[in-house]
Amino acid sequence: MKRSRRVVLTLMGSAAAGAVSMGLVPRIDCGPGSTVVPGPDGKPYCRPAYGGFGAAPHRFHGHGHGSHAHGGG
């Protein structure tokens, strides 16, 4: 037999990306690209810079043109 004996899905349809909302906190110097946010203990910490991946499809396929840009092929 050249096929899988058993194919079962346990997660599909239920997976969701998590997102955490963070409020504003007093300023500290975090360096370029980073921002200050409250940490779990209430102390400010430097939030990472985001959005540094993902620009390429917009360069290729544009915005709002009904494009079907996706990373797979």
Partner 1 sequence: MQRIACPERDDWRATAESAGFDFHTIDGERYWDERAYYAFTLEEIERRIEEPTGEIDAMCLELVGHAVDDEKYLRRLKIPEAFWPLISESWHRDDASLYGRLDLSFDGRNPAKLLEYNADTPTSIFEAAVFQWTWLEQSIERRIIPKRADQFNSIHERLIEAWKKLGGTHHLHLAGMTESTEDSGTLAYLQDAASQAGLETTLIDIEDIGLRDDGQFVDLDDRPIELAFKLYPWEWMFHDTFGARLRGAPTRWIEPPWKAILSNKGILPLLWEMFPNHPNLLPAYFEDDPNAAKLGTSFVRKPLYSREGANVALVSAGTTLAEQEGPYGAEGFIRQAMAPLPNFSDQYAVLGSWLVDHTPCGLSVREDENPITGNTSRFVPHAIL
* Site residues for partner 1 per CB under 8 A: 1-13, 15-20, 30-31, 33-34, 46-57, 59-61, 68-73
Minimum CB separation of residue 31 from partner 1 in Å reads 5
For residues 14 and 26, which CB has a smaller minimum distance to partner 1 in the complex? 14
Q: How deeply is 35 buried, as exposed, middle or buried, from its count of CB atoms within 10 A (0-12, 13-18, 19+)?
A: middle
For residues 7 and 26, which CB has a smaller minimum distance to partner 1 in the complex? 7
Give CA 36 to chain center in angstroms: 18
Instruction: Give the tokens for residue 71.
Output: 């990373």
For residues 42 and 53, which CB has a smaller minimum distance to partner 1 in the complex? 53
CA distance 71 to 73: 7
